[in-house]
Structure 1
Amino acid sequence: MSSKAKLLSALRIVLLWTALLIPLGLSVGSLCAFFLWALKAVTDYRLSHPSILFALPIAGVGVGLLYYWCGGKAEGGNNLIIDEIHKPGGGVPLRMAPLVLLGTIISHLFGASVGREGTAVQIGGSIAGGIAKLFNLSPQSTRLLLTAGIAAGFGAVFGTPIAGAIFALEVLALGELNYAALLPVAAASIIADWVCHLWGIHHTAYHVGFQGGSAQNGSFFHTNALLFIKVCLASIAFGLVSRCFARSIQFLSSTFKKLCPLPWLRPAIGGLLTILLVEILGTRDYLGLGVTSPLPDHPSIVNFFTLHHYTWSWFFKLIFTVTALSTGFKGGEVTPLFFIGAGLGNALAPLLNVPVDLLAGIGFVSVFAGAANTPLACTFMAVELFGATNIVYYAAGCFIAYITSGHTGIYQSQIIGYPKNIWSNLLAGRTLRDTHNLPPASIHKTTSQHE
């Protein structure tokens, strides 16, 4: 092929992907803006009408029936999108976007402890799947566009476009990144985030005041050895909590399926348990997102960065969120994981004599890194949210939590590209879902043959 022909071919590819990524970013960014606006509106309504919580079981059944009658493959959620990227099959249904959008808004209106990332990712994947079908894209191009859809949704909903791009690549397989897809995926995430901001959406600002200290010779140095060791110790706890969160959802989801075979009825159980937890604890602090609190000094992500001490808030939020998600409420895991991580960092800070805002920020991203198996994306997220001054501590937290959480995760369709440690018997190429039912002896035998 001549140089001119190669140039024309490259130009056609650039124009094609420009025509694909711009509408993807515009539509996903706009839908995420509407979604975030709606979340604030329903949260404000719930706070001003607290008795609406008692209708949570009925609301859950309503969403369950909606998915039962109309959902089909859309019930697969984030895992369906990841599966389609690995092995394109029937595609991601376009109806996933309105279903998860409505389901999540209803969940938050009535007080379920769920997040928002799952909704944004499914909106992105659904729109990308629809565009792929419209243009009759090849399987390879469809996989790339679905990955860009994940990035667009994640980047727009959290206001972290670079973390969104890395997340979309990193979430597919443990230990692997497809850098060839980085440019189009980053473009989709940046466009979607930009559009979301143009709609007037403002993301919560988190302040980490810790900026390092002076070295012995008087020079300014960002990393202190003793502080670094303390951060590493705390990060082990962050990873263990990530593991506990993922395992708890898997165990309770299986348990509730056995107790109640009707999928549309299971949210009623979660709703009743949530009401019971509220009555036992005597507080509604653990309902919804928990980013801010209408009451001063009450547990919230923002308040975890202050000097107020919250010992067990992270644990209570874990219980509320696992209860809601394992019984079928729609939303996501990430914002509750932010709450759990920041809350745990706040609780550990005085015990380790570490600045509260610093350890809250590290916990914020590290628990998510361990649960989602995305340490690089979470390090970038910390930089985008808190600034780059403390990046060594953020990276250490995310990397250690990732290793400590083991081969568990909130996305069961993730492929194990490379096991997390050299002593693991898990085979590359298996999904996290596969490893749950694989006998240890069988894994060891197959691994030995592979080696």
Structure 2
Amino acid sequence: MPLPHSPTRRRLSEPLPQLLFLLRWVVLAGLVSLLAGTASAGFLVALAWVTRHRELHPALLLLLPAGGLAVGLLYHYLGQSVARGNNQLIEAMQQPGAGVPLRMAPLVLLGTLLTHLVGGSAGREGTAVQMGGALAAALYRRLPARQLRLRPRERRLLLVAGVSAGFASVFGTPLAGAVFGLEVGRLGRLRYAALLPGVLAAFGADWVTRAWGVGHTHYPIPVVPALSLPTVAATLGAAILFGLAARAFIEATHRLQAAFSARIAWPPLRPAAGGALLLALAAGLHYSGLVPDVSRYLGLGVPTIVAAFAAPLPAYAFALKLLFTALTLGAGFKGGEVTPLFFIGAALGSALAAVLPLPVALLAGLGFVAVFAGAANTPLACLLLGLELFGLPAAPYLALACVVAYLFSGHRGIYSAQVVGEAKHPRDARQQGRPLSALRS
């Protein structure tokens, strides 16, 4: 019979802490999933209604300056503590003492719906992620810490779970959502301590959203050619362009944001001025006849993304969406960057089908995930996103596109609070440990 403190007894008791850890996070992730999945379902339903209402009433575009002023006033008087959005969440995941107020959730929800109601070019990922993170932080503050044995550092794990849940539920991609929460905080590093919370919350939130009857868009890639030297070369060339497109989007957004801040002292006027510029630009392109249907480049643009998989889009389509989105977000409207990045990448890939020996649907799918990989510095999450959306046959092409685009976007990103955990190139090793905002400045 083994002694009380023998190695055999210790080995037999080792699974007990892991079992308790698992049970605790099943409960916590279940709560996060319920909150984030329900919030995302309500948000997606409201966003679909707002989008349909704007499409039925094109005159709402005339309210772009007024809508911008409303969003600016909302955040100036009620939301200064949460104005940094996703960057604030990333900082909270990195620093145990950083807080995320609950008001972030309703404010970003209302701000995003206002942005889309008047035709701003923005996405939905930022809204879902911020709602998930804010609800997870609020849950931490209200949980019975002693009963669940929570520690202050576990606030960061709950935040990762909230971010993963928000991303997974808004796109219907739980694997990508789980890894996105692990990958987004540090460029080139994964937070494995949050692997279990992220996976549980992502799959749970996706299930909750679907249980509410909310579906997601499908993007078919019917034909994937066998790997060959020409197809690999074409993929690498396209991936370089996808990385450079991500870089251009990042630079344009940051430069416009800096320009609005430098020239307009009162913050609420910045999105109002941006709305006026966006309206003038859209009207000029429409009445000049240069662009047949400018409205397809405003709002989410999901129908145009779907169209990119069916036939090549005009070469200017990706650039126009890039400009409209950079102007919308740079001026201070609210919403995410990811769906516009899907649009930019799919449109660019679709246009490249005219010169590259790859099917249009495959090139659109590669651009869809690769531009996002380069802009968000999350290549693994984007690879999983592509596998969940497009299927396993496209895996080699998706992997090449995501990794190369990630490399060619450089040490830039849509999330300036990201810290360089491991440099993309050995010559940049001195940049490790620095946030992207410091590198940009």
TM-score by length of 2: 0.93
Q: What's the secondary structure of 1:22's corresponding residue?
A: helix
**Residue aligned with 1:114, SS:** coil
Q: What runs of 5+ residues in structure 1 fail to find an aligned partner?
A: 213-221, 293-299, 438-451
2:254 to 245, 250, 254: 250
Q: Is the 8 A contact 1:162 1:380 kept in 2?
A: yes
Determine which of 215, 221, 233 is the counterpart of 1:208.
221
Aligned partner of 1:150 among 150, 157, 163: 163
Say which of 308, 313, 332 aligns to 1:309. 313
Matches within 5 A, 1:13-24: 13-24=21-32
Secondary structure, aligned partner of 2:353: helix
**Contact 1:426/1:435 (CA < 8 Å) preserved in 2?**
no
How far did residue 12 of structure 1 move? 3.3
**Number of corresponding residues:** 421
CA contact (8 A) 1:17 1:184 kept: yes
Alpha-carbon spacing, 1:243–1:41, altered in 2? closer, same or farther (3 Å): same
Partner of 2:296: 285
Distance 1:160 1:113, change over 3 A: same
- Write the distance in 1 (CA, Å) between the matches of 2:16 and 2:430: 46
- Per-residue CA deviations over 1:192-240 (Å, capped at 9, x if unaligned) read 000100111110010101132xxxxxxxxx3122111111001100000
From 173, 178, 189, the equivalent of 1:176 is: 189
Within the candidate set 194, 197, 201, 2:207 is matched to 194
**SS at the partner of 1:277?**
helix
Gaps of 5+ in 2: 287-293
- Residues 1:385 and 2:389 aligned together: yes
The equivalent residue for 1:435 is 439
> Superposed, which structure 2 residues align to 1:343-362 within 5 Å?
343-362=347-366
1:232-286 deviations in Å (ceiling 9; x for gaps)? 0011000001011111111111111011121111110111111112112112121
Q: Is the 8 A contact 2:168 2:175 kept in 1?
A: yes
Taking the aligned partners of 1:252 and 1:14, their CA distance within structure 2 comes to 46
Task: Give CA deviations for 1:304-338 in whole Å, capped at 9, x if unaligned.
Answer: 00124322100000010000000000001000000
Match of 1:116 among 108, 124, 128: 124
* Aligned 8 A contact 2:91 2:98 in 1: no
Alignment of 1:76-95 (within 5 A): 76-95=84-103
User: Quick one: distance in 2 between partners of 1:58 and 1:76?
Assistant: 22
> 1:78-108 CA distances to partner (integer Å, 9 max, x unpaired)?
0001001111224100110010011101111
Given the alignment, which residue of 228, 238, 255 partners 1:234? 238
Correspondence for 2:400 = 396
Does the aligned pair in 1 maintain the 2:313–2:347 contact within 8 Å?
A: no
Structure 1 residue aligned with 2:420 = 416
In structure 2, the partner of 1:219 is none
Match of 1:444 in 2: none
Q: Distance in 1 between matches of 2:326 and 2:430?
A: 26
Q: 1:348 to 1:7 in 2, by over 3 A?
A: closer
Q: Take 1:9 and 1:376, find their aligned partners in 2: how far apart are those partners?
A: 30
Give the aligned residue type for 1:326: G
Partner-residue secondary structure (3-state), 1:284? helix
Equivalents in 2 of 1:99, 1:426: separation in Å?
38
Instruction: Give the corresponding residue for 1:129.
Output: 137
Residue equivalent to 1:73: 81
Which residue matches 2:345? 341
Of residues 68, 81, 104, the one that matches 1:96 is 104
Letter in 2 for 1:288: G
Aligned to 1:40: 48
What is the distance in 1 between the residues matched to 2:348 and 2:18?
50
Give the TM-score normalised by structure 1: 0.91
Shift of 1:5: 6.0
* Residue type of the alignment partner of 1:99: L
- In structure 2, the residue corresponding to 1:123 is in which secondary structure? helix
**What's the secondary structure of 2:300's corresponding residue?**
coil
- The whole-number CA distance in structure 1 between the counterparts of 2:430 and 2:243 is 19
Q: Contact 1:304 / 1:310 at 8 angstroms: preserved in 2?
A: no
Decide whether the 8 Å contact of 2:65 with 2:274 is kept in 1.
Answer: yes
- Tell me how large the CA RMSD over aligned residues is: 1.4
CA contact (8 A) 1:341 1:364 kept: yes
User: Do 2:412 and 2:440's aligned partners in 1 also have CA atoms closer than 8 Å?
Assistant: no
Between the aligned partners of 2:367 and 2:13, the Cα distance in structure 1 is 52
CA distance in 2, matches of 1:6, 1:230: 51
Instruction: Give the counterpart letter for 2:92 in structure 1.
Output: E
C-alpha distance in 2 between matches for 1:14 and 1:425? 37
